[in-house]
């Protein structure tokens, strides 16, 4: 376009900028008033201003390049957890159980177990949810000034909040493992027992590595509430199986929490034994794995027998153990034949399909 021509002229009446021709009809290089536009702008200071403008714009770009988006630090959504699990080996464990049974405390105690060093032959290697952990652990810390340790209630609105711990395991390959600990609100758990529609909403349980179902030890300690506590756990498992969100590929831990309240109560401890046996009988053949445990993530009174985080090591070891897919065919390569090519040997590993 003519207006973009880089011409300029010292005579006001000359249109060389627009037309590219000299007012006096002479060759541009012969005209004493003619200048290149950039020279003219530099002479009156405009070029410098523009250069400064460009420099400012560059500075903004540079800032944009240098400022990194940091993780928000609070618990992740299920979608965000999916992104983390795509980054490397991972385990998504969902903790479920009635209100106040101790799910959040279990998660924060696991995190705290790594604050002093190695735990379960693994070391802490980072977390995208450190503020999330700290926020949950805050009320439990002695220096927070509350007399009885407590954790903020998990919101019922979010169906699953996921906390992230990256661990380096001590095996020879020293691999990093992303532990994704899902905290299902007590309210969502109760609804899943009472309605099939609500149970179906927990369809993400199909894709999790384990479901850890907590039975509240405080309820077991109460003779009036203990039968209901085991019945509710059984009812929830039944409802989730019928809704199809659990099935023959599910791995489940059934764990009695707050064991510190039961250790001196033989009748309650026997009741837990019996309850676990009933759950085993009812569900063992319907799921892939069923394990039972007892924990005291944060005992009211720490003793030699029940230290802080009692039972968590057994649980975590199971959670970080190598993942074996039920569909995986464990079939080593057969010995090579003399003149056989590698692909032929590979093909022989699988039996030829029967013709229909």
Q: Which is nearer to ligand GTP, 41 or 150 (CB)?
A: 150
Angle CA 155–158–162, to nearest 5: 95
**Token reading at 67:** 């400022």
Contact between residue 166 and residue 177 where contact means Cβ atoms under 8 Å apart? yes
Q: Is 122 in the site for ligand GTP (CB under 6 A)?
A: no
Question: Which residue lies nearer to Mg ion by CB, 154 or 234?
Answer: 154
Task: Give yes or no for a contact between 128 and 73, defined as CB atoms under 8 angstroms apart.
Answer: yes
d(C-alpha 134, C-alpha 141), whole Å: 10
Looking at the Cβ atoms of 148 and 343, the one nearer to ligand GTP is 148
Q: State phi, psi for 9 to the nearest 5 degrees.
A: -140, 145
Which range in 56-64, 97-105, 282-290, 331-339 contacts ligand GTP by CB under 6 A? 97-105
Tell me which stretch binds Mg ion (CB under 5 A): 150-158, 201-209, 249-257, 288-296: 150-158
CB of 192 to Mg ion, least distance (A): 16
Q: How far apart are CA 189 and CA 99, in angstroms?
A: 9
Residue 41 contacts ligand GTP per CB under 6 A:
no
Rounded to whole angstroms, the Cα distance separating 75 from 133 reads: 8
Rounded CA separation 176/103 (Å): 25
- To ligand GTP, the closest distance from the beta carbon of 153 in angstroms equals 4
Looking at 29-146, list the stretches that DSSP marks H as alpha helix, in order from N- to C-terminal side: 37-44, 46-66, 78-85, 103-113, 130-138
Angle at 194 between CA 162 and CA 204, to 5 degrees: 30
| Contact with ligand GTP (CB under 6 A) among 160, 199, 298, 312 | 298
Q: Is 257 in the site for Mg ion (CB under 5 A)?
A: no
> Contact, 163 vs 131, CB < 8 A?
no
Site track 82-111 with Mg ion (rule: CB under 5 A), x = hit? ----------------------x-------
Buried-exposed string 39-55: b where 16+ CB fall within 10 A, e elsewhere: ebbeeeeeeeeeeeeee
Q: Cβ distance 103 to 191 under 8 Å?
A: no
306 binds, among Mg ion, ligand GTP, none (CB under 5 to 8 A by kind): none
Nearer to Mg ion, 9 or 184 (CB): 184
Please pick, from the candidates 299, 316, 319, 320, the single residue that binds ligand GTP as defined by CB under 6 A. Answer: 299
Piece of the chain touching ligand GTP by CB under 6 A; list 40-48, 257-265, 312-320, 323-331: 257-265
Residue whose beta carbon is closest to ligand GTP: 186
Residue with smaller CB distance to ligand GTP, 141 or 175: 141
106 to 145: interface string for Mg ion, x by CB under 5 A = ----------------------------------------
User: Where does this chain bind ligand GTP (CB under 6 A)?
Assistant: 97, 99-105, 149-151, 153-154, 185-186, 257-258, 260-261, 296-300
């Amino acid at each position: 376009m003519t207006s973009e021509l880089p011409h300029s002229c010292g005579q006001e009446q000359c249109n060389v900028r627009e037309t590219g021709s000299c007012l006096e009809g002479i060759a541009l290089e012969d005209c004493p008033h003619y200048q290149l536009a950039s020279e003219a702008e530099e002479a009156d200071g405009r070029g410098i201003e523009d250069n400064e403008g460009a420099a400012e714009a560059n500075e903004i770009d540079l800032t944009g390049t240098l400022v990194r988006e940091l993780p928000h630090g609070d618990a992740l959504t299920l979608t965000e957890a999916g992104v983390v699990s795509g980054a490397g080996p991972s385990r998504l464990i969902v903790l479920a159980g009635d209100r106040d049974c101790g799910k959040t405390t279990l998660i924060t105690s696991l995190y705290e177990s790594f604050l002093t060093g190695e735990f379960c032959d693994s070391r802490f290697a980072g977390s995208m949810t450190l503020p999330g952990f700290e926020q949950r652990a805050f009320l439990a810390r002695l220096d927070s000034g509350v007399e009885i340790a407590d954790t903020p209630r998990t919101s019922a609105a979010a169906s699953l909040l996921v906390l992230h711990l990256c661990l380096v395991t001590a095996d020879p390959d020293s691999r990093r493992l992303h532990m994704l600990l899902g905290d299902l609100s007590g309210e969502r758990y109760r609804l899943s027992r009472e309605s099939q529609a609500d149970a179906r909403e927990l369809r993400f349980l199909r894709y999790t590595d384990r479901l850890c179902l907590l039975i509240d030890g405080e309820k077991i300690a109460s003779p009036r509430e203990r039968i209901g506590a085991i019945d509710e756990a059984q009812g929830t498992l039944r409802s989730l199986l019928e809704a199809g969100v659990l099935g023959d590929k599910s791995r489940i831990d059934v764990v009695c929490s707050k064991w510190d309240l039961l250790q001196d109560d033989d009748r309650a401890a026997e009741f837990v034994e019996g309850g676990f046996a009933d759950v085993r009988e009812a569900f063992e053949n319907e799921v892939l794995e069923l394990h039972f445990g007892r924990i005291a993530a944060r005992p009211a009174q720490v003793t030699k027998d029940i230290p802080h985080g009692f039972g968590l090591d057994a649980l975590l070891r199971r959670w970080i153990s190598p993942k074996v897919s039920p569909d995986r065919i464990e079939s080593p390569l057969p010995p090579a034949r003399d003149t056989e090519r590698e692909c032929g040997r590979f093909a022989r590993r699988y039996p030829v399909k029967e013709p229909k």
